[in-house]
Structure 1
């Protein structure tokens, strides 16, 4: 880890498959948008020899060649795999988007990785560390994933390195801030005209050496007396933190007795503590200067990854079952074991077609073999094309991405990642296994998309392609949900946020050639009678031929919520012939479905047929249907009609400091807070009932109110009367001022 002799050999871009799981390291980069994850990935690739000094790979592109959407949005919107080789190890770097709307890509990276690098920018305010990044840290802690912290942007720092490491210790260390400590201290040169001092090197706290990067390559040197005194205090704290996590219980006694613990022992204990996920080192890194061969801190970071992060053999593999749900013994990361692989990401290439990023957990995946595809469609009866998630399919070419190239692989062993071409029936989250022994992995958690985007085809040509384009979008991105709302007759794409929605629309246009219009999202309102009323329906027409004659008289009275439409026949004396009573009911129910005031379905009323008249020749089924509808409309005109709006049960999990603003905001949305309770991590769970019409954009607004720390869930509770002033606005929008 910078304190060991490094005998690395750069791969010069030759990203080949690993021969055994022990030589693989799968690492996901996590951090706030703008923290420098992609720049750090490029710097590591340069140091490992995967790119040249100009940052180019052999095909002339760069490893971070963005797609058209990322160029337009000026930020990463998807998970990308960058394979490197260092010191005989293959390192799969998984660069994730930092923006909250693309947390699905982050979750996919966490699933595919065995360790996480949290990238924190010193150029951002120290408080920026405490948002969504802390939530991801807690997720990793819950599953015991090893974590380290990398501080970037030291050359334009707003927050000093020492201060930032203290912030990380308090935020990420929990009850033990000494579990988050720096391994190196940055060394600064002469400040420039802007007042910022360049970072020229690092001081190794264990080795007590200076690693000078000012020449563009890493050089070792002993510290001068001034540097040595600065190292001493931080070194002692680091040693105590390492010994506290050591499995050798005698080390602390020896250290307190004044024994000098050798560096090799400390490094070995440090690496074991990092791999167990009980100690989280802090490092610093910066991209290489123009023409330089190595970026500052990149050698130290690569040594941490290869020496301290676990192999795929160490973490426990996810549980598997048969596709029918029968339990199976837990698999292990064995290249000779049964094949179990998972699609962690799905993308479409205009030239190659569908490309699936796959993590192999057990067995060995080879091109041209037939595998069984099992997926969430089996567990979700409402999933479209459910049969596509239980099928045999032939594996296409295996490759690893590098720049714009896909470099071919002959096989992929357990623990490694690769891209698989032309898996046309596999979606993100699906399992690939042997066709003779089908297995299904437990899914990883995904956030529920809560921002509705109602769309309609821009033209007839777009209408023909819309369904297929939306289905492919949802298949690629499990954080999107497609809804065909029968109540409002809208096609709704549920997203995680506005940026997520923008990317969905852009992909529909650029990938699938579908132009759509975004329309206002409708909430499924209903109508009901406020009081009892009566109505008379008269449908009499004589036009020279066969006429139409039907008269009926009804009474309507409100019923308790959830009662629906109840029809009662109380006609006496045959005023309405028996064969036409069902016709009246049919007309009443048809009009109720269309609404009586604002065009929303009528519910929770009892309609009683009291009287009527018929003609021996001109009465008919159609005439009495029309009369029944007219009677209901007349009854509605003589009483108050309430609009009923759906009310959602909302649960908001938010940091304690934002509870007040959240509750105030909910009240402003006509919400009723029904309770609060404390949650782990200095957070509060707020329970409220809020009209759904008021929370269409709550996914966006809550993020703003809580500075990215809040989460919420919603579920339908009931329909209840809308306040008169709100109902009047809705009626006006529907062209009816009643």
Structure 2
């Protein structure tokens, strides 16, 4: 594992293939934005021979040619797959965005991978969001290793970063997070910084020198050995502590020199089990170099220490009707069970699905069954259909290299799945199955949009449906109360990417409009009103008079209509007409144009004409009576109040509670939610939390998350209600 004798690069210019699950490694790269993940992927591809020294794929483009939006924004916004070959293995490298807005892409990568490589910048350290992902991986036992990048930075300190990683990731056992190599530094430059030129293996005590641009192995100089002795002894003790051979520790403490091969074998088993997490170093290749520093060691760790798909337990499956079925086994000759982990649209190919096969073998042009969870609350239709798939391919930058098949454990792109969406299950048409969905964050930043023109309006529906099919972390809502079309996103960057994709990919221009919350109106005191609708314009006229009383009711009561007419002042056949009229007016509002709620409307008296009275006349009279009652009453504006559950590290509880108070929120309780984390429960007016998804991230340094649910409507403070009424009058 890096201390082994030689490297085994793959071949450039052809699709990396796998003939058995044991020769597949699926690894996801995790780290904050700017930690160097994409640069590391390019360096690994260069070392594996998948790209040339200019960083270009043999048939054109670069390994990082994924998305025009990424180039414009200078950051990754989506999950990308880079397959390479090393030591007889196909390695599927899943590069994930580091920005919090694209955590849905990260979770898809975690679902598809069997191990995780956490990329930590020596100049930035470990952020809270990366710690949270580490904890998620630990909860499911996913094997993890750590790569320290940006060692070329002026103040980079590998030893200090190793200590920080052990503190952040080691939990109760910091000796489970230890380096396998120490960086070697060349002569100091004019700025006093000594660049990293190679590594020294702690187990083999061999030097791996990258100074020439090629990895060269050599004996260490005598003065170098004392520098690594302490780190080597600690590493050996950490490996032995995780060994399944219970005699190994006694032998080591008794002075026996443990064979290096035994240590490496135990190390690889501990890494695959997820109980030991090696720390490695990586630095970019020099100009014209074929290998970046530490890339060979990383590839050997992945092929030797990370588990194969055979060692992973697949997610639970059921039939589409919900009947439990046995967990799929990673066997190429087993029943087909695969999952769409990403959906994208290609202007020439159409919809392309990135698929992880958990069981069986996927072949081009075969008919499969597509089962979807639906997620109708997020704008995804439910489906349960057979589809004939198109070609299989292996992505590399913008290139697609044709595959003859995709076996269990492997990942491939599938063309022409027109109904499949991210998270859907592909299975045999004669034995449909549905995999348990992975956890996806709830989008909580509203984006109200409308078509820019009539031409855009015609394309908007199709563009939005494609957008949410690609990204299940988005939720599309046609709000029945405000009549706004709302696209719920995870943050500002997520919102910007959605708008850009609508414009550039689907040719739809939209305008962003202020998001409205569903305000209501109610009566503050009882009031009476008289509606008189009397008109004569030749022939049959219109005649209807009614008198009503309006009383406020407790919150949540809705609208009650009571008939107390005596003596037939209003004929029985017209009483429903009065009710219809007042309810129609209540829906339109009586003061600021918001629906009227929580009142009892009592019909007391009225008058009718034997010829001129009609259903329409009494509907109009009922509406007029309600408006007159409102003119003489105190009308309250009711605003929706949300119940928030905010989960944050203990260090940020104070700032979060202070921020909630500034939003007119009421903290109703706090409770411990695991080691070092607190759940804050609060009730906050919805009008104050439109951007809370963004603001909480700022207050908690990216470590907080929240859920929201509707609690009730309650009266808005008079001064705010007056401002809303004034703004409505100005725009009227």
TM-score over 0.5 for the pair: yes
Q: Please point out which of 703, 715, 722 is paired with 2:716.
A: 722
Partner SS for 1:643: strand
Partner SS for 2:309: coil
Rounded Cα–Cα distance in structure 1 between residues aligned with 2:7 and 2:282: 20
Q: Please point out which of 334, 342, 348 is paired with 1:345.
A: 342
Deviates more, 1:569-578 or 1:503-512: 569-578
Trace 1:111-130 onto structure 2 (pairs within 5 A). 111-124=111-124, 126=125, 129-130=126-127
Deviation at 1:384, TM superposition (A): 5.7
1:294 and 2:288 are equivalent in the alignment: no
Deviation at 1:506, TM superposition (A): 0.6
Deviation at 1:66, TM superposition (A): 3.5
Per-residue Cα deviation, 1:540-581 (whole angstroms, up to 9, x for no partner): 222344322211111000111111110111111111111111
Partner SS for 2:534: strand
Which residue does 1:174 correspond to in 2?
Answer: 171
Rounded Cα–Cα distance in structure 2 between residues aligned with 1:519 and 1:158: 46
Rounded Cα–Cα distance in structure 2 between residues aligned with 1:269 and 1:589: 76
1:90 and 2:100 are equivalent in the alignment: no
Rounded Cα–Cα distance in structure 2 between residues aligned with 1:402 and 1:66: 9
Deviates more, 1:603-612 or 1:538-547: 538-547
Kindly tell me: are residues 662 and 385 of structure 1, through their superposed partners in 2, closer, same or farther at Cα, counting changes over 3 Å? closer
Which residue does 1:424 correspond to in 2?
Answer: 418
Deviates more, 1:420-429 or 1:216-225: 216-225
- Cα contact 1:450–1:699 (8 A) shared by 2: yes
Rounded Cα–Cα distance in structure 1 between residues aligned with 2:678 and 2:366: 51
Deviation at 1:497, TM superposition (A): 0.3
Per-residue Cα deviation, 1:184-235 (whole angstroms, up to 9, x for no partner): 1111112223332210011111111111100001111222233111100111
**Cα RMSD for the two superposed structures:** 1.4
Kindly tell me: are residues 679 and 307 of structure 1, through their superposed partners in 2, closer, same or farther at Cα, counting changes over 3 Å? same
Which residue does 1:407 correspond to in 2?
Answer: 401
Trace 1:612-627 onto structure 2 (pairs within 5 A). 612-627=606-621
Deviates more, 1:64-73 or 1:42-51: 64-73
- Cα contact 1:367–1:411 (8 A) shared by 2: yes
Per-residue Cα deviation, 1:621-649 (whole angstroms, up to 9, x for no partner): 11111111111111111111111111111
Per-residue Cα deviation, 1:287-311 (whole angstroms, up to 9, x for no partner): 2111111100000000000000000
Which residue does 2:73 correspond to in 1?
Answer: 73
- Cα contact 1:122–1:157 (8 A) shared by 2: no
Rounded Cα–Cα distance in structure 2 between residues aligned with 1:436 and 1:350: 33
- Cα contact 1:15–1:85 (8 A) shared by 2: no
Which residue does 2:217 correspond to in 1?
Answer: 220
Rounded Cα–Cα distance in structure 2 between residues aligned with 1:521 and 1:581: 39
Partner SS for 1:5: coil
Q: Structure 1 length as normaliser, TM-score?
A: 0.98
Rounded Cα–Cα distance in structure 1 between residues aligned with 2:583 and 2:191: 76
1:481 and 2:475 are equivalent in the alignment: yes
Which residue does 1:367 correspond to in 2?
Answer: 364
Rounded Cα–Cα distance in structure 1 between residues aligned with 2:316 and 2:523: 54
Which residue does 1:311 correspond to in 2?
Answer: 308
1:329 and 2:326 are equivalent in the alignment: yes
Partner SS for 2:586: helix
Rounded Cα–Cα distance in structure 2 between residues aligned with 1:567 and 1:150: 69
Kindly tell me: are residues 50 and 720 of structure 1, through their superposed partners in 2, closer, same or farther at Cα, counting changes over 3 Å? same
- Cα contact 2:379–2:476 (8 A) shared by 1: no
Partner SS for 2:224: helix
1:210 and 2:207 are equivalent in the alignment: yes
Rounded Cα–Cα distance in structure 1 between residues aligned with 2:535 and 2:7: 99
Rounded Cα–Cα distance in structure 2 between residues aligned with 1:309 and 1:490: 49
Q: Please point out which of 241, 246, 249 is paired with 2:243.
A: 246
Rounded Cα–Cα distance in structure 2 between residues aligned with 1:158 and 1:102: 30
Rounded Cα–Cα distance in structure 2 between residues aligned with 1:715 and 1:484: 18
Which residue does 1:696 correspond to in 2?
Answer: 690
Which residue does 1:584 correspond to in 2?
Answer: 578
Which residue does 1:233 correspond to in 2?
Answer: 230
1:36 and 2:36 are equivalent in the alignment: yes
Partner SS for 1:478: coil
Partner SS for 1:664: helix
Rounded Cα–Cα distance in structure 2 between residues aligned with 1:337 and 1:541: 80
Partner SS for 1:494: strand
Which residue does 2:438 correspond to in 1?
Answer: 444
Rounded Cα–Cα distance in structure 1 between residues aligned with 2:558 and 2:685: 21
Rounded Cα–Cα distance in structure 1 between residues aligned with 2:413 and 2:148: 31
Deviation at 1:737, TM superposition (A): 12
Q: Please point out which of 489, 495, 498 is paired with 2:492.
A: 498
Rounded Cα–Cα distance in structure 2 between residues aligned with 1:475 and 1:381: 12
Rounded Cα–Cα distance in structure 2 between residues aligned with 1:691 and 1:158: 46
Kindly tell me: are residues 9 and 130 of structure 1, through their superposed partners in 2, closer, same or farther at Cα, counting changes over 3 Å? closer
Per-residue Cα deviation, 1:439-494 (whole angstroms, up to 9, x for no partner): 11001100000000000000011111111111111111000000010000000000
Rounded Cα–Cα distance in structure 2 between residues aligned with 1:510 and 1:154: 38
Kindly tell me: are residues 385 and 282 of structure 1, through their superposed partners in 2, closer, same or farther at Cα, counting changes over 3 Å? closer
Per-residue Cα deviation, 1:564-619 (whole angstroms, up to 9, x for no partner): 11011111111111111111111100000000111111011000011111222222
Rounded Cα–Cα distance in structure 1 between residues aligned with 2:557 and 2:522: 11
Number of aligned pairs? 732
Partner SS for 1:249: coil
Deviation at 1:385, TM superposition (A): 7.0
Which residue does 2:530 correspond to in 1?
Answer: 536
Deviation at 1:667, TM superposition (A): 0.5
Rounded Cα–Cα distance in structure 2 between residues aligned with 1:607 and 1:195: 84
1:163 and 2:160 are equivalent in the alignment: yes
Deviates more, 1:342-351 or 1:14-23: 14-23
Following TM superposition, the consecutive aligned residue runs of length 4 or more in structure 1 with deviations greater than 6 angstroms are: none
Deviates more, 1:11-20 or 1:141-150: 11-20
- Cα contact 2:66–2:398 (8 A) shared by 1: no
Q: Please point out which of 260, 263, 266 is paired with 1:266.
A: 263
- Cα contact 1:728–1:737 (8 A) shared by 2: no
Deviation at 1:77, TM superposition (A): 0.4
Rounded Cα–Cα distance in structure 1 between residues aligned with 2:381 and 2:420: 11
Deviation at 1:157, TM superposition (A): 4.7
Partner SS for 1:156: coil
Deviation at 1:382, TM superposition (A): 5.4
